[in-house]
Chain A
Amino acid sequence: MSWLTDMRERVRSLLFRRREERELREELAFHLEMEQAANERRGMSAAEARRQARLTLGGVERTKEEVRDARGVRPLEDLVRDIRFAFRSFGRSPGFTVTAVLVLGLGIGANTAIFSAVRAVILEPLPLSDPGSLYMLWESNPEKGWERETAAPANFLDWKERVTAFRDVEAYSWSPFQVTLTGLDRPRVVDATEVTGGFFSMVGVEPMLGRGFTEEETWATAETPVLLSAGTWRTIFGGDPGVLETFITVNGAPARIVGVMADGFQFPTEEVDLWAPFGWSPEFRTEAWFRRAHWIRPVARLNPGVDPDQASAELEEVAAQLEREHPVLNRVMGAGMTRLDRFLLGDMRTPMLVLLAAVGVLLLIACANVGNLLLVRASGRGRDLALRAALGAGRGRLVRQMLTESLALAALGGGCGILVGLAGTRLLERLQPEGLLRVSSFPVDGTVVGYTVAVTAAAAVLFGAFPALVVRRTGAGAALREAGRSGSHGRGSRRVVGTLVAAEVALAVILVLGAGLLVRSVASLRQVDPGFDADGVAVVTLNLPSTRYETPDQVTAFYDDLLGRMRTLPEVVSAAGSTTMPLRDRGFTSDFSVAGWAADEYGSEVVRRRVTPGYFETMGVPLLEGRLFTAADRPESERVALINEAMARRYFPGEEPIGQRITADRFPDSTSVWRTIVGVVGSERQNAVAMPAQVELIEPFHQYFGRRMHIYFRVAAGDPTDLVPTIRSIVAEMDTELPLFSVADMTEVHADSMARDRFVMLLLLAFAAVALLLALVGVYGVTAQAARQRLPEMGLRMALGARAADLVRLTLGRSVVLIVSGLAVGLGAALIATRAMTGMLYGVAPNDPVTFIAVALLLAAAALGASWLPARRAARVDPARTLQAE
């Protein structure tokens, strides 16, 4: 095979290059000797014979070159030589190399870090079987303002039966709740989720040990089966497989451990460690509350080959049927579906994509910066290049050399970028607010590395093109001429440098604007009054198991006792309980009606909660009218209620709400329980700082009861959470098997509710700061260059009487043009770009004029400052010296 021999010879030429060169030299020397001898035999003198021999051969060096070409390894040898040359020249100019590699590393690394997060959260498919065919089903209700709301179990069951496009529909409980495991070394609290029996098998998840649930277990069975997470199995049960099929006590009731889920299985959040089936009673199926209480999340798997739009239409059709069949409960209750992965992503999709775009812009700026550095360097090597051209390197060869250098620089930058990316990814993992993203670890694996390599290659093309282009255009001759003035650019490269710097300024403007908008957004959020005074208030949550606290009296007695004991603590100023927590736990909502309204009038979506006396003082919520609850409001006394200000404004405009009677039924009948409104309190924000307060109906704890309570307490001074150990022991004294479910400082709760916005803002600020720095450095550099070039001219002018200020203005002239054009383009582009941030901003529009003007002024000042410095320094120079140097 000739190609086999060809390969063999090529490899041999590569590996034994030195020996082959030696042999070639010897062979040609032999040839010349023979020719010389033959010439002497023909009568020439020795000297003449030798000269003729060389002429006949046609030039020894040239022959050698042709043989080298014929070896077929030229390109590779050239490449190796170019790379070695590139690294040697990097070594000779460490300042340039370190700067360029760092700038590149920053730009590439930032992209790597953000990409790894985006990939883990958005791109990576859910660890379920065929996640593309899984859809989250939700209910909508224009009257209540519901968009993608949880569903009522009765509706879910009807959808499951009637929609043929779905192969299977299962469901899980809306948010994880906490349960107490007792009968162990100590009582433990774990997060739990309820699911329908067939849920795990539908999504394709198998337990690692034991078995999953069966379809029948959706409904109540003789025993309650539970599944444990691998983590809990190991920590609480020591990883003992014998624990399978044994009983544990969950919330006071026995449950049988039937299986353990695999390591790393997290559903629906990281913290959930126990799963149990709903275990509904069959009577529920036809009960009204089963269709009225919306608290589950149904997930459907499409039948193979079914078009999602078709399925959606069918779902809506069934929802319409149900509305007709249940005109009261399902009034204007629509239904819809969203792909599960997109649903779980929530509102982090836009911010993540914005961050990805931002680091892309940052990389562009970094490339422009490095491109400039390379151009400056190239102009400084003009003489060197010219020499090589004279020695026979064609223009193509020089261009290849420059490209190889750019590639080598890019490779170094990419290596640095990987390191920066790794560090950045770890940093992101640590900084991200808990529970914000679906996953909390962003692995840096082959895909991420591959992305980094691609980004590095793109960067190489971007910044490598410039010096290569300049060489190609000016050519060797011009390079020689221009090399006369060291450190100066040719006219062509000067224009390119200028454009690059203007581009850097424009791109930096976009990033700074984005960051500025977010800063204002977070500032607006911070200023929103959440409705309560968080300073000095902490909260602990307790959940009394129904087995030991059956009756209302037992429950109220416990909490009364607890609050009493807490109030005796000297540090505690006040303490009280509530069934809800603002910004975190809204509790449930219901319909309501007010006495005196028309028969078909009713209100819906009123937040319902129960509080003990003293709540509003503890939380600093003002009483606007009437009175608060007192100890006198007992089960036997008149049923009273408070409403919040939002409720008063919306449903009692211009009226006096105090004294009016309200009931929690849409259409009151003889069984309705009426409460008298005795006061109006300030509105607390129940859901998020950015969402206005919902209407609320508050009832006294003693006239109802709740086993699960948030107990708030305010301290006079210091950190309220310092008291938590004391409270824990108080609770332990009262009941040894009762753990504290959670502990929180209310200022943290308030801050956490803005966590997402703060997180994104910080990241964007960091990128904007780096971008601005790079752009300013670029402006400084370009002005310094221009100043240096005009040194002789300035010397002349000074000698002729010009003042320093005039010279500064002269030098600044061009830089100002660059800055202004960069600003203009940047502001214009930002007007379009920031529109993408609309969903992320609070209290500020994406084209907010104040922010735009502020950023424009800030950048103009910074850039002008950066260009004024070198101009001033150059203008101070001694004219005599500069003229001499010329």
Chain B
Amino acid sequence: MAGSSNLLQGTLELLVLKTLSLEPMHGWGLAQRIQQMSRDVFQVNQGSLYPALQRMKRKGWIRSEWQATENNRRARYYMLTAAGERQLGAERVEWERSAGAVFRILDWAGGVA
């Protein structure tokens, strides 16, 4: 897809956190939702999603449970933990700061410091 960009690991984790904060999901669903939400800007490398989920589980941000899908199939669902919620909040703050700084630089009209 045109315009797709590489997803850094940290960004991927952030997106997962946000997605899961809305509702618990299984791995495939996560991949679709993230693609959807970013309007195809972020093409999730499906292969790297699962290792990322494993790492996030180790960090204690998410946990998993086997549950039934709508079609009564067994799937592993992931959900946010309290620590994950806190992490999401902290990362949002960080992003706002860095994005703000970048935009300030980009909008700099010039002039003496």
Are B47 and A62 in touch, CB under 8 angstroms?
yes
Task: Find out whether the CB atom of A69 lies under 8 angstroms from the CB atom of B27.
Answer: no
Chain B residue nearest to A4 (CB atoms) is B60
Query: Does B6 count as interface, using CB distance less than 8 angstroms?
Result: no
Question: Is A10 positioned at the interface, with any CB of B under 8 Å from its CB?
Answer: yes
**Contacting residue for B60 out of A5, A63, A70, CB 8 A:** A5
Interchain CB contact under 8 A, B76 and A27: yes
Docked complex Cα distance between A9 and B57 (Å): 8
Q: Are B27 and A59 in contact (CB under 8 A)?
A: no
With both chains docked as a complex, state the minimum distance between the C-beta of B84 and any C-beta of chain A, in angstroms: 11
Known A-B contacts A5-B60, A6-B60; the reply to A27 vs B54 at CB < 8 A is no
CB pair A72 B58 closer than 8 Å: yes
| Closest CB in chain A relative to B60 CB, distance in Å | 3
CB neighbours (8 Å) of B27 from chain A are 27, 30-31
What interface size band does chain A fall in? 20 to 34
Cβ-defined contact, B46 with A5, below 8 A = no
B28 touches A31 (CB 8 A): yes
B33 lies within 8 A of chain A by Cβ: no
The answer to whether residues A57 and B47 also contact, given A26-B74, A70-B54 and a CB cut-off of 8 A, is: yes
* A671 close to chain B: CB less than 8 A: no
| Docked CA distance A62–B51 (Å) | 11
- What per-residue 1/0 map shows which CB atoms of A61-81 lie under 8 Å from chain B? 011001101111000000000
Distance in angstroms between the alpha carbons of A26 and B66 in the assembled complex: 11
**Interchain CB contact under 8 A, B47 and A30:** no
CB of B76 within 8 A of CB of A23, answer yes
CB-defined contacts of A5 to chain B, threshold 8 Å? 58-60, 83
Asked if residues B48 and A10 are in contact (CB atoms below 8 Å), the reply is: no
Asked whether A2 is an interface residue with its Cβ less than 8 Å from the other chain, the reply is: yes
A617 at the interface (CB under 8 A from B): no
Task: Verify if A670 is at the interface (C-beta below 8 Å from B).
Answer: no
Establish whether residues B58 and A10, one from each chain, have CB atoms under 8 Å apart when the complex forms.
yes
A27 touches B50 (CB 8 A): yes
Distance A70 CA – B49 CA, assembled complex (angstroms) = 11
Nearest chain-B residue to A6 (Cβ)?
B58
B72-112 interface code vs A (CB 8 A; 1 in, 0 out): 01111000000100000000000000000000000000000
Distance, CA A38 to CA B58, complexed state (A): 31
* B26 lies within 8 A of chain A by Cβ: yes
CB contacts (< 8 Å) of A57 on chain B: these are: 46-47
Q: Which of B29, B54, B74 contacts A71 (CB 8 A)?
A: B54
Q: Would you give the shortest CB distance from A227 to chain B, in whole angstroms?
A: 69
A56 interface hit (Cβ, 8 Å): yes
In contact, A70 and B47 (Cβ under 8 angstroms): no
**Which residue of A has the minimal Cβ distance to B57?**
A9
Cβ–Cβ < 8 Å partners of B48 in chain A = 58, 66
Residue A28 at the B interface, CB < 8 A?
A: yes
Q: Which of A35, A59, A62 is B28 in contact with, Cβ under 8 Å?
A: A35
Asked whether B11 is an interface residue with its Cβ less than 8 Å from the other chain, the reply is no
Cβ B50 vs Cβ A2 within 8 A: no
Considering residues B32, B46, B59, which has the most beta carbons from chain A within 10 angstroms of its beta carbon?
B46
Residue of A nearest to B48 (CB): A66
Seed contacts A9-B57, A58-B48; 8 additional CB < 8 Å A-B pairs: A4-B60, A5-B59, A5-B83, A27-B76, A30-B74, A38-B32, A57-B46, A58-B45
